[in-house]
C-alpha cells in the first residue's frame, strides 16, 4: 500500500461510513475526527517519499495513469489535511443541533477526496476526473445550510461546468498533440509546439483555473456561494478550495509549460503573457477589496476578501522573479491560516449571537475575548501588517514587483492592502468594539473545542511571522523542483542578497518598544476601568436606552468617493460581459431548434466527421 492510496482510501472510507451512519450524528462526528487525524498524520509523513509514483492497476488508452508525490503537491496536501482536521475539531461543537447537517461530514470527505486527487495526480486525465469530483462536491458543500444556499450554489455550478468544459478541451487537445496524458511527456513536448499553439493551450488551462480561483471577471459566483453556506464551510471553501485553482496555475505555468516557454509569449516588449496575468491579478486585488467595504455581513465581507487575496498570489506568480514566486506561494499558506482564523472567529460570534450582521453586533470584546484575539490576529494578517506571517509574503511580492519594474502592479497591491485595512477595521469594530447591545449581556465565550483550533492558528500566524524560514524551506525546494531559482531565505526572513527583511529584529524591536511603553505607562497613577455608559456624550446622560454607537455605513464618505468609479467602470464592464454572454447564448440557442429532424442531422454529421477523422488517423 502506498501512502497516496492510504490518503485516498481513508477519505473514501469516510464518505462511505458517513453515509452508512447517517442516523447517528455522534458516530459521524467522532469517526470523522479519527479519520481526519489519520489523514493528517499520513500526509505529514509523506515528506520522506517525494518522488514516489502510484499507478492505477488499469490502463487508459494504453497508458498507466495515477499519482505522484512532489514537493509542490506535498505542500498542498498538508495544507488540505491540516486545515480539515482543525475544521473538524471546530465543528464538533459548532454543528451540534444544526438543521440540514446530516451529510455535513460526507460532503467534507468527498471534497477532501477530490482535492487530494487533484493535487496528487501525475497525469492530466486523473487530474480532470478528480477536478470533476471536486467541483461537484463544492456544489454539494455550497448547497447545504440556509434557504439561499441552493440558489447561489447553482450559480457556482454554471461557472464550474464552464471551467470543466474548458479544461476538457485542454485535456483532449494535449492528448491529440502529445499522444499522452502524462505530465512529464507533455512537459517535454511543449517546446516543440508553435508559439500560437502554446499560447492557446496555456490560455485554455489558465482560464479554467482562473474560474476556480475566482479571478476578476469570473469571480461573481464566489461571494454569495461562500457566504450562504455553513460558516465552517465558508472557512473551508475560501481557505483552501479556491486555492486549488492557484495550484493548477503553478503546476501548468511553471511545472509543465515552464518559465522560458511562457516568456516567449510576448505581445509587445514587456507586455507578455505573465504581464497580462498580472493585470488581471491587479484588478482582482483592487475591485473586490473595495467591494468588501460595502458589505454589511461579516461572511460576505470576508468572502470578497478571499477573491482579493487570490490576486496577491497570482500577481506574485506573474512577477516571474524568484522572490515574487516565493511570495505568491507563501501567501497561499499564510492566507489559509489567517482566513480560516477569521472565519472561525466569525463562526464563534454567530454560534453565540446567531447573527453575522455587522449592523446588529458590537462590544463583544467584553464577553468573548478569545474570539476577539483570534479575529485581531486574523485581521492583522489579512491587512498584511507586521508582525504577522502575511507581512512576509506581501513584502516578497511588493519587493519583487518594484525590482522587476512593474510600478503600476505594485501600486495595485498597495491599494488593495489599504482597502483591506479599511474593511477589516470595520469588521472587528462592528463585531467586537463600540457599544454592547443590552441583548448580548449574558453571552459567554465559546467552549474549549472551538477555542483550540483558534489558538493553534494564532500560534501559526504569529510563529510563521517571526520564523518564516520554516515555510520558506519547503517553498525553496518547490522552486528548485520546478526549475526556478530559489529565493535566498533565512530563518527570519531573507538573506542580505535578497533584500532587507529580518522579522526577528522587527519583532524584538516591537516587543521591547511595547515594554518601554509599559514602563512609561506604569509611571502614571493606576488606571480605573469604567463601564460603557460612563462616557462623554456632550452633557447627556447615557443609559441602556440610549443607542450611542457608530457602525452603520461606517465608510459613507469613502463610498461617495468610490461610487462614481464603480458605476462608470465596474458596472459598465459587467453589463458588457452580460451583453456579450447574452449575444453568444442567443446564437448557441439557435442550434437547439427543438425539432427531432435537426437533431438527427446533427448526429449524422457528427458521425460522418468522426469516421473521416478516424480514417485519417488510421
Partner 1 sequence: MNTVLWIIFLPIILFVIGTFMLGYSRKFIARIERRYGPPIQQVFYDVFKLMSKKTNISHGWMHDIAMLVLLGGTLATLYFVPVPGFSYFAQYGDMLVIMYILLVPALGMALGVGETANPNGSIGISRALMMLAGYDIPFVLTFIGFGMLNHTTSMYDLMMIQQAGGFTSWGLISNPLLGIAALIALQGMIGEKPFEVMVAPHEIATGPMTEMGGKFLGIMMIQHAISLVVELTLYINLFLGGAMNWFEYIIKLFVLFTVLISVNAVFGRFRTDDAVRFMWKIPLPMAVIGILFIIF
Q: Answer positive or negative: Cα dihedral of 336, 371, 354, 553.
A: negative
Ramachandran bin of 542, using left for φ above 0, alpha for ψ from -120 to 50, beta for the remaining angles = beta
Which residue lies nearer to partner 1 by CB, 14 or 419?
A: 419
Which grid cell is 487?
529565493
* End-to-end alpha carbon distance in the chain: 40
Distance between CA atoms of residues 282 and 277, nearest Å = 9
Tell me: does residue 41 bind partner 1 (CB under 8 A). Answer: no
Here's the x/- map for partner 1, 544-563, by CB under 8 A: it reads as: ----xxxx--xx-xx-xx--
Q: How far is the CB of 492 from partner 1 (least distance, A)?
A: 9
Here's the x/- map for partner 1, 192-221, by CB under 8 A: it reads as: ------------------------------
Distance between CA atoms of residues 421 and 424, nearest Å = 5
Tell me: does residue 536 bind partner 1 (CB under 8 A). Answer: yes
Taking CB under 8 A as the criterion, the residue among 192, 495, 500, 593 binding partner 1 is 500
Which residue lies nearer to partner 1 by CB, 444 or 528?
A: 528
Taking CB under 8 A as the criterion, the residue among 23, 439, 527, 590 binding partner 1 is 527
Which residue lies nearer to partner 1 by CB, 517 or 585?
A: 517
Q: Answer positive or negative: Cα dihedral of 364, 142, 281, 216.
A: negative
Letter string b/e over residues 410-419, b meaning 16 or more CB atoms within 10 A of that residue's CB: bebbeebbeb
Tell me: does residue 526 bind partner 1 (CB under 8 A). Answer: yes
Taking CB under 8 A as the criterion, the residue among 57, 354, 538, 539 binding partner 1 is 538
Tell me: does residue 529 bind partner 1 (CB under 8 A). Answer: yes
Tell me: does residue 524 bind partner 1 (CB under 8 A). Answer: yes
Tell me: does residue 421 bind partner 1 (CB under 8 A). Answer: yes
Query: Interaction with partner 1 in 430-469: which residues (CB under 8 A)?
Result: 432-436
Query: Interaction with partner 1 in 353-372: which residues (CB under 8 A)?
Result: 363, 365-366, 369, 372
Q: What is the DSSP track for 122-133?
A: SBHHHHHHHHHH
Tell me: does residue 491 bind partner 1 (CB under 8 A). Answer: no
Part of the chain binding partner 1 (CB under 8 A), chosen from 51-59, 141-149, 224-232, 534-542: 534-542
Which one, of 155, 192, 201, 147, lies nearest residue 174 by Cα?
A: 201
CB 41 within 8 A of CB 62: no
Taking CB under 8 A as the criterion, the residue among 288, 324, 419, 469 binding partner 1 is 419
Which grid cell is 355?
447573527
Checking DSSP bridges between strand 266-268 and strand 271-272, what pairing results, if any?
A: antiparallel
Letter string b/e over residues 550-567, b meaning 16 or more CB atoms within 10 A of that residue's CB: ebeebbeebeeebeeeee
Query: Three-state SS for 267?
Result: strand
Q: State residue 577 phi and psi, 5-degree precision.
A: -65, -40
Which one, of 131, 142, 132, 137, lies nearest residue 15 by Cα?
A: 137
Which grid cell is 185?
511527456
Query: Interaction with partner 1 in 43-62: which residues (CB under 8 A)?
Result: none
Q: How far is the CB of 504 from partner 1 (least distance, A)?
A: 8
What is the rounded (10 degree) CA torsion for 229, 233, 235, 241? -110
Tell me: does residue 570 bind partner 1 (CB under 8 A). Answer: no
- Cα–Cα distance list, 64 to 122, 536, 566 (Å): 10, 75, 51
Which residue lies nearer to partner 1 by CB, 38 or 411?
A: 411
Q: How far is the CB of 415 from partner 1 (least distance, A)?
A: 6
Part of the chain binding partner 1 (CB under 8 A), chosen from 36-44, 77-85, 124-132, 386-394: 386-394
Rounded to 10 deg, the angle between the 389-403 and 298-319 helix axes is 40
Tell me: does residue 535 bind partner 1 (CB under 8 A). Answer: yes
Distance between CA atoms of residues 98 and 104, nearest Å = 10
Taking CB under 8 A as the criterion, the residue among 179, 191, 483, 513 binding partner 1 is 513
Which residue lies nearer to partner 1 by CB, 45 or 500?
A: 500
Which residue lies nearer to partner 1 by CB, 83 or 365?
A: 365
Count, residues near partner 1 per rule CB under 8 A? 79
Q: How far is the CB of 440 from partner 1 (least distance, A)?
A: 13
Taking CB under 8 A as the criterion, the residue among 384, 453, 465, 468 binding partner 1 is 384
Tell me: does residue 543 bind partner 1 (CB under 8 A). Answer: no
Query: Three-state SS for 148?
Result: coil
Alpha helices (H) along 320-443: 322-353, 369-383, 389-403, 407-432
Tell me: does residue 415 bind partner 1 (CB under 8 A). Answer: yes
Query: Three-state SS for 63?
Result: strand
Element (H, E) at 332: helix 322-353
Using omega within 30 degrees of 0 as the cis cutoff, is the peptide bond preceding 387 cis? yes
Q: How far is the CB of 413 from partner 1 (least distance, A)?
A: 10
Tell me: does residue 294 bind partner 1 (CB under 8 A). Answer: no
Taking CB under 8 A as the criterion, the residue among 268, 523, 614, 618 binding partner 1 is 523
Part of the chain binding partner 1 (CB under 8 A), chosen from 47-55, 252-260, 271-279, 415-423: 415-423
Cβ count near 543 (within 10 Å): 8
Tell me: does residue 496 bind partner 1 (CB under 8 A). Answer: yes
Tell me: does residue 21 bind partner 1 (CB under 8 A). Answer: no
Distance between CA atoms of residues 430 and 363, nearest Å = 8
Part of the chain binding partner 1 (CB under 8 A), chosen from 80-88, 94-102, 439-447, 511-519: 511-519
Block residue for cell numbers 475539531: 89
Here's the x/- map for partner 1, 106-145, by CB under 8 A: it reads as: ----------------------------------------
Which residue lies nearer to partner 1 by CB, 496 or 595?
A: 496
Amino acid at each position: 500500500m502506498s501512502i497516496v492510496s492510504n490518503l485516498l482510501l481513508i477519505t473514501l472510507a469516510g464518505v462511505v461510513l458517513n453515509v452508512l451512519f447517517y442516523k447517528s450524528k455522534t458516530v459521524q462526528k467522532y469517526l470523522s475526527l479519527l479519520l481526519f487525524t489519520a489523514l493528517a498524520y499520513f500526509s505529514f509523513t509523506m515528506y520522506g517519499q517525494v518522488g514516489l509514483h502510484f499507478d492505477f492497476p488499469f490502463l487508459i488508452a494504453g497508458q498507466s495513469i495515477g499519482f505522484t508525490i512532489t514537493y509542490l503537491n506535498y505542500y498542498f496536501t498538508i495544507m488540505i489535511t491540516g486545515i480539515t482536521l482543525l475544521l473538524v475539531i471546530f465543528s464538533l461543537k459548532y454543528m451540534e443541533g444544526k438543521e440540514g447537517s446530516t451529510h455535513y461530514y460526507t460532503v467534507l470527505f468527498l471534497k477532501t477526496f477530490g482535492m487530494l486527487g487533484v493535487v496528487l495526480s501525475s497525469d492530466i486525465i486523473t487530474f480532470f476526473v478528480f477536478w470533476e469530483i471536486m467541483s461537484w462536491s463544492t456544489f454539494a458543500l455550497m448547497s447545504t445550510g440556509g434557504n439561499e444556499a441552493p440558489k447561489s450554489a447553482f450559480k457556482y455550478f454554471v461557472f464550474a461546468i464552464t471551467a470543466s468544459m474548458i479544461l476538457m478541451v485542454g485535456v483532449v487537445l494535449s492528448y491529440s498533440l502529445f499522444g499522452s496524458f502524462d505530465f512529464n511527456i507533455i512537459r517535454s513536448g511543449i517546446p516543440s509546439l508553435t508559439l500560437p499553439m502554446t499560447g492557446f493551450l496555456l490560455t485554455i488551462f489558465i482560464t479554467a483555473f482562473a474560474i476556480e480561483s475566482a479571478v476578476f471577471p469570473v469571480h461573481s459566483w464566489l461571494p454569495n456561494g461562500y457566504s450562504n453556506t455553513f460558516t465552517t464551510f465558508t472557512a473551508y471553501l475560501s481557505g483552501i478550495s479556491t486555492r486549488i485553482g492557484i495550484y493548477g496555475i503553478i503546476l501548468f505555468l511553471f511545472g509543465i509549460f515552464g518559465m522560458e516557454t511562457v516568456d516567449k509569449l510576448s505581445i509587445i516588449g514587456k507586455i507578455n503573457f505573465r504581464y497580462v496575468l498580472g493585470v488581471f491579478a491587479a484588478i482582482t486585488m483592487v475591485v473586490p477589496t473595495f467591494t468588501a467595504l460595502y458589505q454589511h455581513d461579516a461572511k460576505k465581507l470576508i468572502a470578497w476578501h478571499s477573491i482579493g487575496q487570490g490576486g496577491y498570489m497570482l500577481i506574485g506568480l506573474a512577477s516571474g522573479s524568484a522572490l515574487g514566486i516565493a511570495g505568491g506561494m507563501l501567501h497561499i499558506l499564510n492566507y489559509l491560516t489567517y482566513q480560516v482564523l477569521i472565519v472561525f472567529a466569525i463562526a464563534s460570534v454567530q454560534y453565540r449571537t446567531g447573527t453575522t450582521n455587522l449592523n446588529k453586533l458590537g462590544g463583544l470584546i467584553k464577553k468573548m475575548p478569545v474570539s476577539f484575539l483570534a479575529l485581531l490576529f486574523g485581521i492583522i494578517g489579512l491587512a498584511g501588517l507586521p508582525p504577522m506571517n502575511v507581512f512576509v509574503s506581501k513584502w516578497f511580492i511588493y519587493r519583487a514587483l518594484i525590482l522587476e519594474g512593474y510600478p503600476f502592479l505594485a501600486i495595485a497591491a498597495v491599494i488593495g492592502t489599504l482597502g483591506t485595512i479599511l474593511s477589516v477595521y470595520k469588521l472587528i469594530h462592528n463585531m467586537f468594539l463600540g457599544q454592547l447591545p443590552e441583548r448580548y449581556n449574558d453571552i459567554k465565550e465559546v467552549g474549549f473545542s472551538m477555542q483550540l483550533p483558534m489558538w493553534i492558528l494564532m500560534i501559526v500566524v504569529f510563529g510563521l511571522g517571526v520564523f518564516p524560514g520554516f515555510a520558506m524551506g519547503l517553498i525553496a525546494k518547490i522552486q528548485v523542483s520546478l526549475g526556478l531559482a530559489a529565493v535566498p531565505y533565512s530563518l527570519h526572513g531573507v538573506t542580505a542578497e535578497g533584500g532587507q527583511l529580518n522579522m526577528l529584529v522587527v519583532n524584538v524591536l516591537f516587543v521591547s518598544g511595547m515594554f518601554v511603553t509599559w514602563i512609561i505607562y506604569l509611571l502614571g497613577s493606576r488606571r480605573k476601568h469604567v463601564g460603557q455608559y460612563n462616557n462623554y456624550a456632550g452633557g447627556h446622560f447615557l443609559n441602556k436606552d440610549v443607542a450611542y454607537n457608530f457602525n452603520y455605513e461606517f465608510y459613507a464618505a469613502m463610498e461617495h468617493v468610490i461610487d462614481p468609479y464603480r458605476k462608470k467602470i465596474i458596472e459598465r464592464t459587467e453589463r458588457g460581459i452580460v451583453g456579450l454572454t447574452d449575444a453568444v447564448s442567443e446564437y448557441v440557442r439557435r442550434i437547439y431548434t427543438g425539432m427531432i429532424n435537426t437533431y438527427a442531422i446533427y448526429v449524422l454529421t457528427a458521425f460522418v466527421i468522426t469516421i473521416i477523422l478516424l480514417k485519417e488517423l488510421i
